[in-house]
Amino acid sequence: MAISRAALLVIRLHGLVFRWTGGRVGGRLGHLEQVLFTTTGRTTGHARTTPLAVTVVGDKLVLIASAGGADRDPGWYRNLVAHPDVVVQRGAVPRPMRARTAEGDERVELWAAAVANNPGYAGYQTKTTRPIPVVVCEPRDPGPK
C-alpha cells in the first residue's frame, strides 16, 4: 500500500505548519499528540523530518512504525535503524534523542499503551504480516561536562 501524492503533500504541509508555529498548530490531531521526528537518511545522509503521533509513557516517547499497516517499514524507521541519533520536537523545542526498537516485555507493554492511546494501531497490525516496530526515544547522554 503506497502513500498517495496527496497524502505526502499533507504530511509535508503538516510538518511546515508545526515548525512555523512551534507546535501550536499541528501539535495535536484530534486527541493524538504529534511530534516532528528528524532522522538522518540512511543513503543520503540528509536530515529527514516526519510528523508522527506520539505516546508518552513515563519519560519515554513511543512511536509506532505502522506505515498504516503496509508490508514494509516506513522510511523514517529504516533511517533510525541505520542512524539512531534523532531529533524530536514536541511543541517549540527540538531535543536530541536516541531511538531504539523495543523488544520483549517492553515492546508488549509499550504496544498496549500506544493502542490504548490510538486504537487504530491494532487495525494496522491486522493488515500486515510484519511485526510493527515500537520505537522508544530517550534523551541522548550529554556525556561528561
| pLDDT at residue 92, as a whole number | 79
| pLDDT at residue 63, as a whole number | 98
Report the predicted TM-score, pTM, of the whole model to 2 decimal places: 0.81
Domains of the chain: 5-139 (2.30.110.10)
Look up residue 114 and give its three cell numbers: 500506544
- Taking the C-alpha atoms of residue 38 and residue 79, their distance in angstroms, rounded to an integer, is 10
| pLDDT at residue 1, as a whole number | 46
| pLDDT at residue 34, as a whole number | 84
| pLDDT at residue 12, as a whole number | 62
| b/e map 92-113, b = 16+ CB within 10 Å | eeeeebebebbeeeebeebbeb
Helix or strand run (H / E) with residue 37: strand 32-40
Burial-class residue 43 by CB neighbours within 10 Å (0-12, 13-18, 19+): exposed
- Give every residue of the chain whose pLDDT is below 70, as ranges: 1-31, 142-145
Angle at 37 between CA 36 and CA 38, to 5 degrees: 115
Helix or strand run (H / E) with residue 56: strand 55-57
Alpha helix locations (H) across 41-85?
Answer: 75-82
The pLDDT tens digits for 92-126 are 789 999 999 999 999 999 999 999 999 989 999 89
